[in-house]
Structure formats: C-alpha cells, structure tokens
C-alpha cells in the first residue's frame, strides 16, 4: 500500500496498558467488576467451559497474582508504533471516503466511528472484549475494537500477510458501522429477535455485506493509487482466510454450514470483489442477492 504517515489519528482511542486493558479492575481504584459481575462470569465460565474470571481478578491459572495489562509495556508499544501509524492512516482514509461516498450514494449523512486499541481485555457497550475474540464493531457505542496482536495471528495462523490484508480487517468493521448508520443493523437485529432460527443466516448476510462495503472503499483506494493489484490479492486472501468453512476445518477438521455466521471463504471473496468492482453501496445488497 502507498500510505502517508499522518501521525496518530484523532479517531483512535488508545487503551493499551491502561490498567487491565480498559477499565475492568478489582479492588483499589477505578471501576471494580463487582460481586454481581463476578457471579455472572462464574456462570458463563461453567457454560463455556473455560475460566473467564481470572483475567479480571489478575490471577493466572496457577493462582499467581498480578494484573494482565496492568501497566504500559514500553517494548510492545515500540513494536506496535509503526502499525499504530498505519491503522491511523487507514481509519482516517476510511472516514474521509465514507464522509463523501455515503451521502452521495445513499443520502445518509456519515458519522464518525472510533477505533479502540487495547490489549488483553477491555469493555464496550456490547460487553467485555478479549483479544482472542478478534476485531469487532459494537453498535452500542459505535466503536471498532482491535488488539493489534491479531495481525500476527492473521499472518502466522491464517496465512494472510500484507498491509492491505490488515486494512481490509478495519474496512470490514467500518462496514458494520455503515450498516448501523443506514439502519440495516437495527432491522436485522429485530428480525433475529423475532425469529431466532434465522439468527445465523442473517448474520452471514450481515457479514458478507460488510465484506462488500470493504470492497467499496477498496475501489476508492485503488482509484487514488493507494493500493495496487498485489494489494488487492492480499485483501482477497484475507477474506478467504477467515471464511467459516476454513476456520471450522482448521479447528475441528469438519465443516458445518448450518453453523456459519460469517460466510464461506468463497462467499467472502465474492462479495469483497463485488464491492471492489462496482464501488457502490447498492451493489452490496446481500439480503436479496445471496
């Protein structure tokens, strides 16, 4: 990618190393998790079969004390400095692009999102987030959340290196922000609530539309020579690498289409390419064209 170092974006909220990764404390100062929260985490731990309490109490599985992410890690901050500047450029470019394209194409005014950087765990209006959960968008506070360590996993585990692969991840999450602004997210959640059996199929359509919207931004970036054909290949590889079928095959050895929530690798590539080739929001109607 050809990008300019614009420093740290004003649209980034940096929570890295800020005491438990973003506000979940226990005892002492700050906002404690509270007894009710601990009980809820205890129930969830039983349900999911893994310990969700210890990270918030600062305990390792071996019982040792100490907060994960309880303070700044200068060496990690230094390692992530260039990447932080890169994602700053990406979020700035996405915001500028959508501020122009969204009202032109849909008549809906664009409102900025915020990119939250965190380590380990943090809180959002959608509940607490863990690095292991991967990047996500929370419509409740209209923010994108990412632990930059995810990009190591994208390269090493999923075989999707490259700056545009990294940019695609953010563009996909901003695609969910576009869905909130246009009312798609609200309508889909209402349908899922009324018909729980439709939850997964509707989720797939939501995710594929976000892929397509990432492609819409990608076309703008290509027209401005921010990306080239090699970058596009990187983005397509990223879309393919995190398809439900590939992830299920890697983790279980089997594929369960009925459990898809994001779409297959082929579907994700198809819809990303559709946005990339068309460059219009109207081309991303996965709810009619799937």
Summarize pLDDT for 4-38 with one digit per residue, the tens.
Answer: 999 999 999 999 987 443 333 333 333 334 444 44
Query: What pLDDT band is residue 218 in, cutting at 50, 70 and 90?
Result: very high
274 and 212 in contact (C-beta within 8 Å)? yes
Summarize pLDDT for 239-258 with one digit per residue, the tens.
Answer: 666 555 445 545 666 544 55
Structure tokens at 218: 């990608």
pLDDT value at residue 232: 79
Cα radius of gyration rounded to whole Å, the chain: 19
pLDDT value at residue 217: 96
Q: Mean pLDDT highest for which of 98-102, 234-238, 259-263, 269-273?
A: 98-102
CB atoms within 10 A of CB 273: 18
pTM (two decimals): 0.76
């Amino acid at each position: 990618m050809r990008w300019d170092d614009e420093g740290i974006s004003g649209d980034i909220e940096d929570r890295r190393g800020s005491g438990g990764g973003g506000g979940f404390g226990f005892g002492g100062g700050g906002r404690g998790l509270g007894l009710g929260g601990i009980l809820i985490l205890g129930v969830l731990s039983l349900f999911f079969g893994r310990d969700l309490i210890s990270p918030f109490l600062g305990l390792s599985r071996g019982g040792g004390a100490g907060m994960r992410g309880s303070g700044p890690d200068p060496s990690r901050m230094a390692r992530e400095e260039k990447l932080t500047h890169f994602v700053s450029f990406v979020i700035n470019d996405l915001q500028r692009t959508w501020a122009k394209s969204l009202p032109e194409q849909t008549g809906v005014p664009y409102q900025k999102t915020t990119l939250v950087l965190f380590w380990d765990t943090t809180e959002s209006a959608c509940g607490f987030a863990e690095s292991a959960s991967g990047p996500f968008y929370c419509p409740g506070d209209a923010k994108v959340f990412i632990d930059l360590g995810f990009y190591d996993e994208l390269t090493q585990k999923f075989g999707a290196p490259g700056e545009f692969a990294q940019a695609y991840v953010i563009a996909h999450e901003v695609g969910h922000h576009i869905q909130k602004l246009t009312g798609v997210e609200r309508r889909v959640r209402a349908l899922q609530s009324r018909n729980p059996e439709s939850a997964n199929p509707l989720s797939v359509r939501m995710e594929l539309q976000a892929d397509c919207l990432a492609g819409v931004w990608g076309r703008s970036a290509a027209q401005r020579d921010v990306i080239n054909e090699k970058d596009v290949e990187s983005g397509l590889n990223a879309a393919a690498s995190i398809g439900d079928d590939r992830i299920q095959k890697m983790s279980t050895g089997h594929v369960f289409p009925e459990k898809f929530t994001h779409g297959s690798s082929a579907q994700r590539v198809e819809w990303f390419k559709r946005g990339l080739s068309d460059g219009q929001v109207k081309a991303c109607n996965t709810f009619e064209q799937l």
